[in-house]
Amino acid sequence: MILDTYDHRLIAALEQGLPSVPRPYREIGERVGLKETQVIERLKALREAGVISRFGIVVRHHSLGYHANAMVVWDVPDEEAAALGELLSALPHVTLCYRRRRAAPHWPYNLFCMIHGHDRDTVEAQIETLTRECGLAAFSRAVLFSHRRFKQCGARYTHSTPEKAAPNRDAQRPDRGQQGNVA
């Protein structure tokens, strides 16, 4: 699916979420120059084409009791990454899993997964279990727990405007994490 200017405008208009009014798509349409029905049809098409992977309520996972977040990375042969990634993805507690480009010599790891849990001990135990269950023990690994969150908001795919986003001044508060778009 090739996206046109209106698709990009629509995605940009939705970065802050649907407005809390009875006809939210009409209001979004007014902002981007589309009719309500066109907004709805375009969103359906983007969803069906997989450009939008899901459309709905985005929660802040910290506020739901998920306080510990670890990024776990392994250095596995590229050709084995997909099979291992599928194994990891099937496990509970794995919320994201993907292969990224390495950045040798500083960063040898290519298989990434994200684990959310109630507390650090629980997440550490889960990491040991999934490492064993997926046959990952032989590969070089790093575990990176998150600490302070300096900023978290919806992705911005449009070009910058002169108005700059303010950094998150609530960075020390551990209760505002949300799910965002995957990079």
Partner 1 sequence: MTPPLPDSTDAPRLSEMEKRLLNAFQDGFPLVPNPYAAMARELGTEEAEIMEVLDSLRERGILDRIGPLLRPHRAGWSTLAAMNVPCERLEQVADIVSTNPHVNHNYERDHEFNLWFVVTAPDKEAVEGVLRNLAQETGLDALNLPLEEAYHINLGFPLS
Binders of partner 1 among residues 44 to 103 (CB under 8 A) are 44, 46-47, 50-61, 63-67, 71, 81-82, 85-86, 88-103
Interaction of residue 18 with partner 1, rule CB under 8 A: yes
- CA 90 to the chain's CA centroid: 17
Contact between 88 and 70 (Cβ < 8 Å): no
Interaction of residue 105 with partner 1, rule CB under 8 A: no
Longest dimension (CA), the chain: 56
- Whether the ω angle into residue 108 lies within 30 degrees of 0, i.e. cis, is no
CB atoms within 10 A of CB 5: 9
Q: Which is nearer to partner 1, 30 or 98 (CB)?
A: 98
Q: How far is the CB of 137 from partner 1 (least distance, A)?
A: 19
Q: How far is the CB of 157 from partner 1 (least distance, A)?
A: 3
Q: How far is the CB of 170 from partner 1 (least distance, A)?
A: 10
Interaction of residue 159 with partner 1, rule CB under 8 A: yes
